[in-house]
Structure 1
Amino acid sequence: MVLGLLGELLITAGLVLALFVGYSLWWTDLLADRQADRAGDQLRHSWSAPAAPAVPYGASDGVGFLHVPALGKDYQVLIKMGTSPEVLNQGVAGVYEEPYRAAMPWDPSGNFALAAHRDGHGAKFHDLDALDKGDAVVVETRDRWYVYRVDATLPETTKYDIGIIAAVPQSSGYTKPGRYITLTTCTPVYTSRYRMAVWGSLVRVDQVDAQRTPPAELRG
């Protein structure tokens, strides 16, 4: 009788754990994707209005969209300011504001450093490890397409390694100021034990035309 009761408790605990894992991964992905889609639509709608005077971006403000053809023909991620859980849990890529404030793509030099979840809450960087040297990374803003090429990756580093998002990111191979992009996420998959990083450098800036024709890298 005792063994039977223990078995039933273990089965119940297993079911509860399975439900929790399902919620953490599938359900939070679904909610985050819906929220990100709505916010992305709102940002694009705001771009159709006359441009307002330039002001500094505030926390959670929409900046643009990240496109990475190697992660899917229609891969698109909304970019917002900030890397707090409240921002990243919206299914977006967040711009680092601390410990270093990231440079923006239009700045004359610096590192446009982004973070996104590997699993759950949209899992936008789930396949970040699939990127290779030479792959295109495109940032779309209201009036420009910023085209980067991947130069290097760091498969694993400590979560306390803030040098990977510095203006001249450490371990990237870069030795002088430039216009860089850094994509970071947790690793290994389904853990938050370490961080991985992908670095790229700007190769071209295209003007957005009236039809918002994407650059060649997104039309292949």
Structure 2
Amino acid sequence: MSRARNRIAGALSVLGELLITTGLVLGLFVVYSLWWTNVLADRSAAERGDQVRKTWRSTPAAAGPGALDTRDGIGFLHVPAMGGGEVLVKRGTSADVLDDGVAGYYTDPVASALPWDKSGNFTLAAHRDGHGARFHNIHKLRTGDAIVFETRDTWYVYRVYAELKQTSKYDTGVLAAVPAESGKTVPGRYITLTTCTPMYTSKYRYIVWGQLLRTEKVDARRTLPAELR
């Protein structure tokens, strides 16, 4: 009887050690996913952002805004209600783009308009957790909040008018040129922010829509629009 008890005790001890080890491994993975990837993404985004601004300073004004659509990025998103400072925006929404701590504009399944287009929907995606988590606080946006996009020569000031707290990740209608799910029925100059929801999952998508309120030319001092002061 004593030997049987010893074997059971030994087995339980080994099992306990395995559970502890597994817990430590999972804990380290969570730390890596939710903290260290943010550190790496922040560094990468800062370097790329600096490169974009350097390019702006050396690009002739006559080149026009379309010339800014480079591999480095087309501009910076500012959303005061979400906090976190400026967000570099690049082309594409694949993991290898967004993992660098940036937002990306859609090229598939529905191609995004760009802010300087006369009409259309400027559609963006970014991670909500890990890899910079640029849209982590998207749930804090409310109707009337400002969304500002900055290019080398123009500030595009949008105002939030609708949100969809949960929809299928296959719901491409939210990216339409006229986003009917937001209540719009006619062409305009819209912006759409998309990210995963609930937090720490990628099961659904959280959507926020805005409409262009005005544009402002960037002056020599890059004076911020009133919404960012």
For this structure pair, what is the TM-score category when the shorter chain's length is used for normalisation? over 0.9
Q: Which has the larger radius of gyration?
A: 2
Alignment partners' CA distance in 2, 1:58 and 1:67: 18
**1:68 equivalent in structure 2:** 79
Q: Deviations over 1:137-163 (max 9, x none)?
A: 000001000000000000000110011
Task: Indicate the SS of the match to 1:48.
Answer: helix
Residue 58 of structure 1 deviates from its aligned partner by: 6.0
The answer to whether structure 1 residue 39 and structure 2 residue 53 are counterparts is no
Residue ranges of structure 2 left out of the alignment (5+ in a row):
1-9
Task: Indicate the SS of the match to 2:174.
Answer: helix
Residue ranges of structure 1 left out of the alignment (5+ in a row):
none
Alignment partners' CA distance in 2, 1:97 and 1:198: 19
Task: Indicate the SS of the match to 1:21.
Answer: helix
The answer to whether structure 1 residue 91 and structure 2 residue 101 are counterparts is yes
Q: 7, 10, 13: which one pairs with 2:22? A: 13
Give the residue type in structure 1 aligned to 2:191: I
CA contact (8 A) 2:52 2:72 kept: no
**Residues 1-220 of structure 1: pairs in structure 2 closer than 5 A:** 1-51=10-60, 53=63, 60-72=71-83, 75-219=85-229
TM-score computed with the length of structure 2 as normaliser: 0.92
TM-score computed with the length of structure 1 as normaliser: 0.95
Paired residues, number: 218
Quickly say closer, same or farther: Cα 1:188–1:59, change in 2 above 3 A: farther
Percent identity of equivalent pairs: 63
Q: Deviations over 1:55-93 (max 9, x none)?
A: 667674401000011123x62100111101110000000
Residue 50 of structure 1 deviates from its aligned partner by: 3.5
Residue 108 of structure 1 deviates from its aligned partner by: 0.3
**Structure that is richer in helix per residue:** 2
Residue 53 of structure 1 deviates from its aligned partner by: 3.5
Cα RMSD for the two superposed structures: 1.4
